């Protein structure tokens, strides 16, 4: 067989005959050249906005809630580790709202990807301390060309309002049980007490130590190099950040594909991106039947287990009596209602398909009564099936009260636990009213009817009575802790002291280190539930549209604004003004304790921990 081929050489076309052998050699060369330009499949995980503990309720027309959950992200990484078609994973941050807890709970999943022989790359337009902590878990940290890096360390501005209250004519009458309990310090003092100084400094030292340890291990920096990096990277350019070793390379986003291919040793390879988090399906509004849509709007979500299930019960926010809410006083965030949680626990207690329960706690505490009510519900469930606790950012005071009702407690390194103590009090506004020329005439019937009057403070006898009642609550709290944590030494852990993960475990306040997914996996193992044979579901169950509207308006068809709604509007205006004047972070540190203080108008004894700790 003879064929002719045209060979281009120096611009000349030469015809030459090729034998069968030469044809085979030419074909082999062609195959070899094609192999040099190969494709590479890389997983893409985009983290955008808030990373939620659980998915929001379905929308009005049946679409799933917007946003990414922590468990979804962990599952996506674990799936990537098992996917043999992926050469690596790129995590791209798009204004992701990360916390130290998120990063520590993602760590095992990222490690699983790396242990599977796949490189993990992190890309962001800019980095703060939290993003750099995530980068320390990855193989390579890439910053957008021209982007910035900021590593300021750990800082908090504590505000003390006693002098301002005195100037305004307000008297903060507070009593606390536990020398290290700092919940009343903001209101009652002009500066921190010696006990609180020791408590908060110990907490910050622990947190700063964790930050340094993670960066040194992940970025392979010694103390001297990290010190230099932190000195230069208070606000660093991309070039400075690379020079300090905090990031590996500055890359323009359109060149990200080339940078990833080069890191894998194939600079000419074409990268095929594989999205690790799929898009959520939504109802097609244009083509949907209007009657079907109307039916969907008022259909109660089906939230019943279909097979063996591990339930995750979320205790996220301030603990209050009654029902949970999505927003607190002064827009102070969500609250956890004892009535709502007890209903959920009762449902889990009686359902045979619920094999075990994880309490996912991220709460600074709140109502002493509500905390006890929830604790009792936890113990009722624990009498029938295992109940474990997983602490996110915090289980302080009332949050820890609930946690000790569980059979086992899991922590992250940055989780804050403790604050075993009680605080109670009120604000006496008589001086303020005098300045405003408002005359108050108090009228009481009964021996202690005027105890919560806003006109005047407490007498010494009143304070002694309140402290006696608070001591009863404290002793009950300490008793619950001793009952749940048999080996704990209250002389080292109580009286309001705060601890982070590893130290808390050493003090027998918790059992082991690990995030919510670790707790779920371990509980499934204890229950002999094989992977893929059980479901994980969240409680309390999501609300249907009708229930949401009832909560919003007090019932379908009620449209006239109430006094309460007007008050919410007023507080919303105060909230916006406070954030504008002080800045969002500083205002939050005032707003959250004010929310707790207002709760004292209804219940004068609270189990609350440090309500606001902001680290960037």
β-pair partners for 538? 312
The CA-based diameter of the chain, rounded to the nearest angstrom, is 118
Residue-level pLDDT at 563: 38
Q: What is the dihedral of CA 357, 358, 361, 365, to 10 degrees?
A: 30
Residue-level pLDDT at 340: 92
Taking phi first (over 0 means left), then psi (-120 to 50 degrees means alpha), and beta for anything else, what does residue 211 get? alpha
- CA–CA distance from 224 to each of 107, 221, 336, 486 (Å)? 25, 8, 45, 43
- CA–CA distance from 91 to each of 111, 196, 216, 438 (Å)? 13, 40, 21, 60
Answer positive or negative: Cα dihedral of 198, 199, 201, 206. Answer: positive
Q: How many CB atoms lie within 10 A of CB 516?
A: 22
Residue-level pLDDT at 455: 82
- Closest to 335 measured CA to CA, from 316, 360, 312, 359: 316
CB of 338 closer than 8 Å to CB of 363: no
Q: Tell me the mean pLDDT per 10 residues along the chain, length 616.
A: 31 36 41 55 92 66 60 94 94 90 94 96 93 95 91 83 87 80 80 88 89 93 93 88 93 93 90 81 51 55 86 91 66 75 94 96 89 94 96 91 95 91 82 85 78 83 85 89 92 89 92 94 96 92 56 40 41 54 56 58 58 48
β-pair partners for 51? 68
Backbone torsions φ then ψ of 131, nearest 5 degrees: -65, -35
SS3 annotation, 333-350: CCEEEHHHHHHHHHHHHH
Backbone torsions φ then ψ of 394, nearest 5 degrees: -160, 140
CA dist., res. 420 & res. 492, Å (int): 11
CB of 348 closer than 8 Å to CB of 382: no
Q: How many CB atoms lie within 10 A of CB 487?
A: 8
* Residue appearing with tokens 């308006």: 553
Residue-level pLDDT at 289: 56
CB of 322 closer than 8 Å to CB of 337: yes
Q: What pTM value is reported for the model?
A: 0.77
Which domains does the chain carry? 3-36 (no CATH), 39-151+233-275 (3.90.226.10), 543-577 (no CATH)
Residue-level pLDDT at 596: 58
CA dist., res. 605 & res. 593, Å (int): 14
């Amino acid at each position: 067989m003879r064929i002719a081929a045209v060979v281009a050489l120096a611009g000349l076309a030469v015809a030459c005959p090729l034998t069968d052998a030469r044809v085979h050699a030419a074909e082999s060369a062609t195959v070899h050249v094609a192999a040099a330009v190969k494709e590479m499949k890389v997983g893409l995980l985009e983290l955008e906005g808030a990373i939620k503990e659980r998915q929001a309720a379905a929308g009005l027309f049946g679409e799933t809630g917007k946003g990414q959950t922590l468990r979804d992200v962990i599952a996506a990484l674990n799936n990537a580790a098992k996917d043999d078609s992926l050469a690596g994973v790129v995590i791209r941050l798009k204004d992701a709202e990360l916390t130290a807890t998120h990063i520590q709970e993602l760590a095992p999943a990222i490690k699983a990807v790396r242990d599977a022989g796949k490189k993990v790359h992190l890309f962001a337009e800019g980095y703060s301390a939290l993003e750099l902590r995530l980068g320390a878990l990855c193989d390579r940290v890439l910053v957008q060309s021209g982007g910035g890096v900021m590593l300021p360390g750990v800082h908090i501005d504590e505000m003390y309002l006693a002098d301002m209250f005195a100037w305004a004519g307000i008297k903060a009458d507070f009593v606390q049980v536990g020398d290290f309990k700092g919940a009343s310090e903001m209101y009652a003092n002009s500066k921190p007490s010696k006990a609180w100084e020791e408590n908060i400094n110990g907490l910050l030292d622990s947190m700063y130590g964790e930050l340094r340890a993670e960066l040194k291990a992940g970025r392979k920096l010694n103390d001297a190099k990290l010190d230099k990096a932190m000195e230069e990277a208070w606000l660093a350019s991309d070039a400075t950040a690379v020079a300090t070793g905090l990031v590996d390379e500055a890359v323009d986003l359109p060149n990200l594909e080339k940078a990833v291919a080069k890191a894998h040793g194939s600079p000419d390879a074409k990268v095929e991106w594989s999205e690790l988090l799929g898009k959520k399906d939504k109802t097609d509004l244009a083509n949907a039947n209007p009657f079907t849509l109307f039916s969907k709007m008022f259909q109660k979500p089906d939230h019943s287990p279909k097979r063996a299930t591990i339930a995750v019960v979320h205790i996220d926010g301030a603990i209050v009596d009654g029902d949970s809410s999505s927003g607190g006083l002064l827009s102070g965030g969500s609250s956890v209602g004892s009535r709502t949680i007890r209903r959920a626990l009762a449902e889990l207690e009686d359902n045979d398909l619920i094999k075990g329960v994880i309490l996912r706690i991220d709460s600074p505490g709140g109502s002493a009564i509500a905390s006890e009510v929830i604790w009792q519900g936890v113990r009722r469930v624990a009498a029938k099936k295992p109940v474990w606790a997983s602490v996110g950012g915090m289980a302080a005071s009332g949050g820890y009260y609930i946690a000790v009702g569980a059979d086992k407690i899991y922590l992250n390194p940055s989780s804050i636990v403790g604050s075993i103590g009680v605080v109670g009090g009120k604000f006496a506004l008589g001086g303020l009213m005098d300045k405003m020329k408002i005359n108050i005439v108090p009228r009481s019937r009964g021996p202690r009817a005027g105890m919560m009057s806003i006109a005047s403070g407490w007498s010494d006898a009143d304070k002694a009575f309140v402290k006696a009642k608070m001591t009863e609550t404290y002793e009950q709290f300490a008793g619950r802790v001793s009952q749940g944590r048999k080996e704990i030494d209250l002389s080292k852990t109580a009286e309001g002291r705060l601890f982070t993960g590893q130290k808390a475990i050493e003090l027998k306040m918790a059992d082991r280190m690990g995030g919510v997914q670790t707790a779920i996996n371990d509980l499934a193992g204890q229950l002999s539930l094989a992977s893929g044979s059980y479901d994980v579901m969240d409680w309390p169950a999501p609300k249907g549209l009708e229930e949401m509207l009832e909560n919003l308006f007090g019932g379908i068809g009620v449209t006239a604004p109430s006094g309460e709604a007007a008050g919410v509007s007023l507080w919303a205006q105060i909230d916006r003004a406070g954030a504008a004047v002080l800045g969002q972070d500083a205002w939050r540190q005032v707003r959250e304790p004010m929310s707790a203080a207002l709760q004292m108008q209804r219940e004068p004894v609270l189990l609350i921990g440090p309500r606001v700790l902001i680290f960037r």
